[in-house]
């Protein structure tokens, strides 16, 4: 299973319920990676989408503890067990966890690949992604050339879980 996230130098991902910055090339890469695939997200992340509507051309699975929550065009699950059952319908390689921070934290142990847009800046933030650089279970297996958007620089990185041989 995959994750996809944009982080700053401190692994921050958001502030006050919004992204830290909008970079068109990052959004293009996100669409390219996830279109036609399955995205797993939390209710608060769904609420940030235009009109609170699911992403087009993807299977949207919303993980929420709110038993009354529904979103037209999305599958709603209320526990990790329900999510696990729902994900059995899909190829692991076609599943992308897209946020927010609590969903990332809960599902990181299920993932073996994380696509990271690493922004060379520090933002004011209140939500974070686990620091994969500080975790020996993860290593970078691909890195783009330096990208720029106005005065920002960033890289597209691919982290993969290190296989432990017993």
Predicted pLDDT at 56: 96
The answer to whether 60 and 71 have CB atoms below 8 angstroms apart is yes
CA nearest neighbour of 68 among 80, 78, 55, 53: 78
Say which CATH superfamily domain 2-161 falls into.
Dihydrofolate Reductase, subunit A (3.40.430.10)
Enumerate the domain spans of the chain: 2-161
pLDDT score for 163: 73
What's the pLDDT at 164? Answer: 56
pLDDT at 23: 97
> What is the DSSP-derived secondary structure letter of residue 16?
T
Model pLDDT, residue 97? 98
CA 149, 152, 154: angle at the middle one, nearest 5? 85
Residue 129 C-alpha from the chain's centroid:
9
Degrees to nearest 5, angle at CA 153 with 13 and 103? 15
DSSP 8-class letter at 1: -
Q: Which residue has the tokens 């699975």?
A: 61
Q: Which two tokens stand for residue 70?
A: 């529904």
Kindly give the confidence (pLDDT) of every residue in the chain, 166 residues in length, as a single tens digit, with 9 standing for 90 and above: 999 999 999 999 999 999 999 999 999 999 999 999 999 999 999 998 989 999 999 999 999 999 999 999 999 999 999 999 999 999 999 999 999 999 999 999 999 999 999 999 999 999 999 999 999 999 999 999 999 999 999 999 999 999 755 4
């Amino acid at each position: 299973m995959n994750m996809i996230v944009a982080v700053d130098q401190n692994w921050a991902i958001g502030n006050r319920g919004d992204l830290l910055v909008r970079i068109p090339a990052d959004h293009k890469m996100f669409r390219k990676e996830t279109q036609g695939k399955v995205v797993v997200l939390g209710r608060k992340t769904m609420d940030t989408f235009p009109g609170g509507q699911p992403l087009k051309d993807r299977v949207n699975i919303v993980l929420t503890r709110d038993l009354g929550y529904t979103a037209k065009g999305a599958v709603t699950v209320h526990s990790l067990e329900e999510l696990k059952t729902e994900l059995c319908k899909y190829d692991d390689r076609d599943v992308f966890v897209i946020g927010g921070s609590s969903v990332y934290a809960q599902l990181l142990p299920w993932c073996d690949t994380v696509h990271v847009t690493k922004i060379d800046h520090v933002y004011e933030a209140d939500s974070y992604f686990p620091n994969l650089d500080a975790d020996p279970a993860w290593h970078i297996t691909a890195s783009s050339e330096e990208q720029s958007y106005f005065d920002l620089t960033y890289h597209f990185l691919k982290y993969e879980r290190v296989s432990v041989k017993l």
